[in-house]
Structure 1
Amino acid sequence: MKKLFTLCVMLFFSVTLFVAQEKDPVIQAMISEANDNSQLKNLGHELMDVIGPRLVGTPQMKNAHDWAVAKFNTWGITAKNEQWGEWRGWERGITHIDMIHPRVQSLRGMQLAWSPGTGKNGITAELLVLPMIKDSLEFARWLPSVKGKLVMISMHQPTGRPDYNWEEYATEKSFTKMKEEREKQTEEWQENMRRTGYDRRTLAPALEKAGAAGIVMSNWSRGFGVNKIFGARTKAIPTVDLELEDYGMLYRLVESGHKPKLKIVAESKELGMMPTFNTIAEIRGTEKPEEYVILSAHFDSWDGATGATDNGTGTLVMMEAARILKKHYPNPKRTILVGLWGSEEQGLNGSRAFVEDHPEIVDGLQALFNQDNGTGRVVRLSGGGFLNSYDYLGRWLDAVPNEITSEIETTFPGTPARGGSDYASFQAAGAPGFSLSSLSWAYWNYTWHTNRDTYDKIVFDDVRNNVILTAILAYMASEDPEKTSRVKAVLPVSNRTGRQLEWPTPRSPERKGGVD
């Protein structure tokens, strides 16, 4: 009987909610628009395939900002590019990396971001690997030998198969043996690196100063064919990343005494300091225009690929949600803004600048919804440390179809973020910003900052669900008769330090980046 009673109660509330949703024509129109007239695939193609990667300081980043403004305008939404700083300008050019000795083979790899170029003629040089040394003095004696050489600075991986592949096919004994050998090798490599007196940030500049012709590395992301691509730390010589398979082959050739040589042609260009922007779109409120709902996503990406899931998909969600809101909720009670932030990848710089430059908007913020981490459907929502966040987020979520909310695990009141993505910039200022955190889809291994973060990795059904969720949350937040509470919860004790956590404080952005 108790189970039957519980089932009846659940059924009653489900039916009540369904009827409530059915009675709201705006919600129903937005859901139909998202499902029947989705623009996501076209937007994704234009942003990822046509414009491409969006590294801060590049012409492609500026092209993306201009494209977004034009797209918003076609939907009748006012938009602008708002400059908040400047960054070292750089443009990727044609890159060829070829082994020319002991045989000829074109290799799979690319320049790191902001790597110095080689010119059209390129450079040709023999490869060296870092030696095993006893101490920093021995390393200092070895350093002159790098003059005119390409130096390999990454560990040679013992296997190119990810662990899940080993776990599926290897014997337990073989899998255990591989992991133990890899762990030992990794520890030895790291200890040897410490003995040099340098780390991953300072080693490349030291090799450059000693006369190296270039730096060769491989930042494997523990998946088939996938490497993470970040920025170079050299000022005059090129830094390239090779895929694991080619890097391993070259490393073995060096160790066996075959003295492999590479020819590297990398035609990147330095462009001087370039302006950096946030794209801000606005649907003006009619009753409370000085209160705001913000749809938030970072617009920039690393440029190992085209930034599809970091954060092309978050950008698509916010743009498509804004399009739908403008079409079916053109006169919101509160002002709805879309913030497409620049230079998130270098430290949340665009959103931190916006918070610093627009205290009036931060003061009037009803809620900010941010989506960043991949292509999956939203599965987590935290109250961000705001004591009464359940009251209003719970009300708003009740209007979202159950097929979407049933996938979402909520945590209230939660804790504020100290980084990670742009909602943290607003939380640090005490404003109610919330992360719409998504399902992984092997994000950390395969697409986060990698050479495989491309259009084909987008799961459009999940992204469309996120559009519906975001549009309804924005609508409900705008219509809510009450202003959201900013009362902060008492934060828990840190497991790491044993001390009570403190609310984060706002940090200023880096407004002149990419230079010392």
Structure 2
Amino acid sequence: MKLINSLTYAAVFGTALTLQAQVAPAQQKLNPTIESFVSEIKNNNQLEKISHELLDGIGPRLVGSPQMDQAADWAIKTFNSWGINSRREDYGTWKAWERGLTHVDMTYPRAKNIEATQLAWSPATKKAINAEVIAMPVFTTEAEFKAWLPKVKGKIVLMSQNQRYGRSDYQYKEFGTEELYDKVTTQRKADNDAWANSIKVTGHNNNTLPVVLEQNGAAAVAISYWTGIMGANRIFGAKTKNIPMIDISNEDYGMLYRLAENGTTPKITLNAQSKHNGVAKTYNVVGEIKGTEKPNEYIILSAHFDSWDGAQGATDNGTGTVAMMEAIRTIKKLYPNNKRTILICLWGSEEQGLNGSRAFVEDHPEIVKNTQAVFNLDNGTGRVVNINGSGFKESYEYMTRWLAGAPNEVTKHIKTDYPGLPSGGGSDHSSFVAAGIPGFMLSSLNWGYGTYTWHTNKDTYDKIVFEEIQSNAILAASLVYMADQEETLVNRDRRVLPNGRDGKQMEWPEVKGPARTSDAYFK
């Protein structure tokens, strides 16, 4: 998931009417079917079971990896065991890569294991690399950079900024004096600005610079993409073509940087194993419960299935996946006569640009045009606390009604923004919104998502708050039931959008096609 959503625009432009979700009084009498959903999900849910199978047994689901294939087979088998017809829908290909073991050890000036992760799609080491470490300094001119560049030959290059302070800002604020907090935050900004300027004067950027280092003979490139939270680093893809690229924990990276900077040249042994397996198919996994009265109209439970692979892909987006799986399991068991066809769509390659959902919209116009609503989960482990009307003029009318049918204990936390603004690409509901279909992000309480688990080495099973995603499964199942009870497809008129920052009227997001191959991504 990208940390962008339409709530940001609403906050900036102040155009959305904020309302508390409308619910019945405290002694709420639920529809008997929804009441049965609540009982089933509270007392008989399979959230921990399927989370364990997916996250512990299979692990992260990088597009093009064997683990993604294993996860698809598992999901189809699981759906079928629940009596839900399911299928894999191929839509393209991607660079195939399989992670192996990575070992990094400092051998001089002392022996120490280094906490490091090989970046996705990184070239492997043919044999262990034993090399000195060189730290890229802060440059003030391009001439300085060019004069330094020959020094990288045969070295493992530290390419990221060294963090002067390894504690998070919130600790300085909590425990330090006001003067200390001001000093640290001021110094951090100055360091960040100086480093950004240093990269700029090289004439390159963080994506292109690794290739320049490689072309000048570097043995490997090491970065440290620290989130600002102790122990948490973001793990994305390698930018090198022929040499390994790794991410080192902030703590170990700082030690290596200081040693190199102060004249004690550290030495490292690096063994990064992985396999490039040509190309692999990309696909979505789709489960289907056929409608009894209006089988050619649809309601979609949406979550992306893929992840980055620095950890287990637990909160991005294992939690969305298992909550939606639990919702459709419950619906299948307790709502036998659904009017419309209910789909659960587990998207592939969301992390590389919403490719799975964009392919579905492009490949299934007959489904898309007759879709009642899309409910999407994709932002961590917290309970849903915000729902945006996505720019649909009448969203207040029907979403308020649907939320009123859900349990008060779930909806009492939710604030709504109607009609809201359309999301331009934060997650997979955006693919449907662009096509004019009511798609709603069920936005969750943060639980440190943005800084601690989003795309990091800490996105693991133990970070899941099952009580919260249980609530989300209840909400999703309830919304599906309420949307299914509508006599007709809801109104999908679009609001007149306000002016943007540039003073010009904002435009509805355009429908974008998927990347059906990885060629452009890896250019």
Shorter chain as normaliser: what TM range?
over 0.9
State the TM-score, normalized to the length of structure 1. Answer: 0.95
Task: Give SS of 1:54's match.
Answer: coil
Aligned 8 A contact 2:24 2:404 in 1: no
Q: Percent identity?
A: 53
CA distance in 2, matches of 1:208, 1:469: 50
Task: Determine helix, strand or coil for the equivalent of 2:199.
Answer: helix
Aligned to 2:399: 393
Partner of 2:361: 355
Rounded to whole Å, the distance in 1 between the matches of 2:337 and 2:78 is 20
In structure 2, do the counterparts of structure 1 residues 131 and 163 end up closer, same or farther at CA, with 3 Å as the change threshold?
Answer: closer
SS class of match (1:264): strand
How far has the Cα of 1:13 moved from its partner?
5.0
- Root-mean-square deviation (CA), in Å? 1.4
- Match status 1:61 vs 2:71: no
**Number of equivalences:** 501
Unaligned ranges ≥5, structure 2: 1-21
Letter in 2 for 1:38: N
What secondary structure is seen at the aligned counterpart in 2 of 1:18? Answer: coil
Report the secondary structure of 1:56's partner residue: coil
Question: Which of the residues 138, 142, 151 maps onto 2:144?
Answer: 138
Q: What stretches of structure 1 of length at least 5 have no aligned partner?
A: 1-10
In structure 1, the residue matched to 2:258 is 252
Q: Which residue of 1 is the match for residue 186 of structure 2? A: 180
| Partner SS for 2:467 | helix
Q: Is the 8 A contact 1:284 1:331 kept in 2?
A: no
CA distance in structure 2 between the partners assigned to 1:247 and 1:137 by the alignment: 26
Displacement of 1:181 in angstroms is 1.3
Question: 1:459 corresponds to which residue?
Answer: 465
Cα drift, residue 131 of structure 1: 2.9
Q: Which amino acid aligns with 1:468?
A: I
Q: Partner of 2:510 in structure 1?
A: 505
Equivalent position of 1:222 in the other structure: 228
| Cα deviations by residue, 1:172-207 (Å, 9 ceiling, x for unpaired) | 111111111111111111111111111111100111
Q: CA shift at 1:141, angstroms? A: 3.0
Name the counterpart of 2:279: 273
| Residue 97 (structure 1) aligns with | 104
Letter in 1 for 2:122: S
Provide the residue aligned with 1:312 in structure 2: 318
Task: State the alpha-carbon separation in 2 of the partners of residues 137 and 223 from structure 1.
Answer: 35
Structure 1 residue matching 2:368: 3-state secondary structure: helix
Aligned to 2:476: 470
Alignment partners' CA distance in 1, 2:324 and 2:23: 34
Question: Counterpart of 1:372?
Answer: 378
Write out aligned runs for 1:7-18 (5 A): 14=25, 18=28
Structure 1 residue 18: Cα displacement: 1.7
TM-score, normalised by the number of residues in structure 2:
0.94
Q: Is the partner of 1:393 in helix, strand or coil?
A: helix
CA deviation profile, 1:345-404 (whole Å, cap 9, x unmatched): 000000000000000111000000000000000000011000001111111111111111
Per the TM alignment, residue 12 of structure 1 is displaced from its structure 2 partner at its CA by 11
Task: Give 1:197's match in structure 2, choosing from 197, 203, 224.
Answer: 203
Encode CA deviations 1:416-462: one digit per residue, 9 max, x unaligned: 00011000000001111110000000101110000000000000011
1:385–1:412 CA contact under 8 A, matched in 2: yes
Which whole-Å CA distance do the structure 2 matches of 1:96 and 1:218 have between them? 16
Contact 2:393 2:495 in 1 (8 A): yes
- Contact kept, 8 Å, 2:301 with 2:375, in 1: the verdict is yes
Query: 1:320 & 1:392 partners in 2: Cα distance?
Result: 24
Q: How far, CA to CA, are the matches of 1:181 and 1:435 in structure 2?
A: 38
SS in 2 for 1:182: helix
Partner of 1:46: 53
Does 2:33 align with 1:26? yes
> Does residue 484 in structure 1 map to residue 495 in structure 2?
no
Deviation of the 1:136 alpha carbon: 1.9
Q: Distance in 2 between matches of 1:90 and 1:122?
A: 20
Tell me which residue corresponds to 1:83.
90
Q: Is the 8 A contact 1:283 1:330 kept in 2?
A: no
> Secondary structure of 1:91's match?
strand
Aligned twin of 1:240: 246
323, 327, 352: which one pairs with 2:329? Answer: 323
Q: How much does 1:482 deviate?
A: 2.5
Q: Which amino acid aligns with 2:338?
A: P
Q: How far apart are residue 515 of structure 1 and its match?
A: 3.9
For 1:112, the aligned partner's letter is L
* Residue 129 of structure 1: aligned partner: 135
Residue number in structure 1 paired with 2:12: none
Is this contact kept in 2: 1:386–1:488, CA < 8 A? yes
